[in-house]
Amino acid sequence: MSLGTQIVWLLILAVPVACISWTVTHEEIFREPRDFCIAKSRTCRRLFERKIFYLFTCEYCFSHYVAALVLLVTRFKLLFNDWRGYSIAFFALVWVANQYTSLYNRLRLDIKKERLDIEAKQVEVEEMQESK
């Protein structure tokens, strides 16, 4: 594959990695298993067990495992056609996926802030109308 094609593949493959990582570690559908993992990551006696459970609560950590799975399924390599290509693709995929996640998180915060500002202005307008 040409370098341009590899970059396009990298940008596209990072989308499902980011999506899966975010969904498992933040969205309501996985809240109960995530709460269980949070509790176990704090209470297990062995360090290894605590770290395994923590993996399902951190989108950055979890994205490494999702990226490894995506590379295993797609056999995507970056720059080299051997193990070095997998290694570079792995870290690049994790990095791009986490950039997408950060961008998505920032967008959600901005939307939430705007929503709260609108609600505050609506309350202010209602209070002004009631005082008239």
Average pLDDT in the 49-53 region? 90
Judge whether 74 lies within some domain. Answer: yes
Judge whether 18 lies within some domain. Answer: yes
Judge whether 67 lies within some domain. Answer: yes
Asked if 24 contacts 56 with a C-beta cutoff of 8 angstroms, the reply is yes
Q: What's the pTM value of the predicted model, to 2 decimals?
A: 0.76
Asked if the model's pLDDT at residue 131 lies above 80, the reply is no
Residue-averaged pLDDT of the chain: 91
Judge whether 125 lies within some domain. Answer: no
Could you read off the pLDDT of 82-119 as tens digits, one per residue? 999 999 999 999 999 999 999 998 998 888 888 888 88
Nearest to 60 by CA among 14, 94, 35: 94
Asked if 96 contacts 19 with a C-beta cutoff of 8 angstroms, the reply is no
Q: Provide the 8-state DSSP code for 80.
A: S
Structural domain total, the chain: 1
Asked if 66 contacts 17 with a C-beta cutoff of 8 angstroms, the reply is yes
- Upper half-sphere CA count for residue 8 (Cβ side, 13 Å): 5
Asked if 66 contacts 20 with a C-beta cutoff of 8 angstroms, the reply is yes
What range defines the domain where residue 20 resides? 3-107
Please give the distance of CA 123 from its chain centroid, rounded to a whole number: 34
Judge whether 14 lies within some domain. Answer: yes
Judge whether 130 lies within some domain. Answer: no
